């Protein structure tokens, strides 16, 4: 199974290292960021499962990071790290959309228990999707490959696989172009070439439904004025070994 990925945003080097060590020993992939802005960027990368967020940070404070993150990742689990006695920080953090808090100093066992608990109850904690399938064929995310029902194969670019993966782990939800930009490209900034997304989607659709195939299922549905979502006919495969055509 994929190791779950935690981003730790903490400017105190000793505490940051301690947190990374605890998480790694606990079986997580842990990535550190020493300031708020870097932490925000790291947290927006594809495949992040949880963010541990200090509040007093250089470049962008923790509550601001949380507010910005919530615009694009409304359900990404966030645990804030607060100093003992700063109840107001805690309250503001929870009001700002944090899922839980841990008071510094904390024990390794307590930290891991909190992380586990938040991940367990997180609504958007997606089952890792290995592949998706329609009558036309199967998209294998691990190989970045489409295997058509007739046995032919085609490769997906990393970006195309990223787009499809993000749609697949959010079935039934319309994903805006901005969100796709942030999640797949890791870019912030509103009017930055959202048309590039449309071009990728068009090309992706062409790959998924090449002209010579008989089946023509909707892998990706356009929701006018809002964005894209996974087609209703698409089945998610979350087993270790995706079926290959």
Q: Which residues bind Ca ion (CB under 5 A)?
A: 11, 54, 56
Neighbour tally for 31: CB within 10 Å: 18
Kindly state the smallest distance separating residue 61's Cβ from Ca ion, in Å.
9
The residue among 51 and 180 lying less far from Ca ion, judged by its C-beta, is 51
The residue among 83 and 232 lying less far from Ca ion, judged by its C-beta, is 83
The residue among 104 and 207 lying less far from Ca ion, judged by its C-beta, is 104
Kindly state the smallest distance separating residue 6's Cβ from Ca ion, in Å.
17
DSSP assignments along 117-177, one per residue:
HHHHH-TT-PPPP-EEEETTEEEETTTTEEEETTS-EEE--HHHHHHHHHHHTSTTS-B-H
The residue among 56 and 117 lying less far from Ca ion, judged by its C-beta, is 56
Continuous segment of H or E residues that includes residue 80? strand 78-83
The residue among 8 and 168 lying less far from Ca ion, judged by its C-beta, is 8
Kindly state the smallest distance separating residue 54's Cβ from Ca ion, in Å.
4
Kindly state the smallest distance separating residue 48's Cβ from Ca ion, in Å.
20
> What does the buried/exposed string (b/e) look like for 204-241 if buried means 16 or more CB atoms within 10 Å of the residue's CB?
beebbbeeebeeebbbbeeeeeebbbbbeebeebeeee
Kindly state the smallest distance separating residue 85's Cβ from Ca ion, in Å.
15
């Amino acid at each position: 199974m994929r190791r779950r990925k935690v981003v730790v945003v903490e400017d105190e080097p000793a505490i940051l290292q301690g947190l990374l060590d605890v998480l790694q020993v606990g079986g997580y992939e842990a990535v550190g960021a020493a300031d708020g802005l870097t932490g925000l960027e790291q947290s927006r990368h594809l495949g992040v499962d949880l963010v541990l967020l200090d509040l007093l940070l250089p470049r962008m404070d923790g509550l601001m990071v949380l507010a910005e993150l919530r615009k694009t990742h409304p359900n990404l689990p966030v645990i804030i790290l607060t100093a003992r006695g700063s109840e107001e920080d805690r309250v503001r953090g929870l009001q700002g959309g944090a899922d839980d808090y841990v008071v510094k100093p904390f024990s390794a066992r307590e930290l891991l228990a909190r992380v586990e608990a938040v991940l367990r109850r997180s609504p958007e904690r997606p089952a890792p999707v290995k592949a998706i399938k329609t009558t036309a064929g199967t998209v294998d995310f691990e190989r970045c490959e489409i295997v058509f029902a007739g046995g032919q194969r085609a490769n997906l670019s990393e970006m195309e696989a990223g787009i499809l993966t993000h749609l697949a782990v959010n079935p039934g939800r319309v994903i805006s172009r901005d969100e796709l930009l942030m999640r797949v490209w890791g870019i912030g900034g509103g009017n930055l070439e959202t048309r590039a997304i449309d071009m990728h989607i068009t090309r992706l659709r062409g790959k998924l439904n090449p002209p010579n195939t008989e089946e023509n299922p909707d892998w990706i549905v356009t929701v006018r004025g809002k964005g894209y979502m996974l087609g209703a006919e698409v089945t998610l495969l979350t087993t270790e070994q995706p079926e290959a055509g």
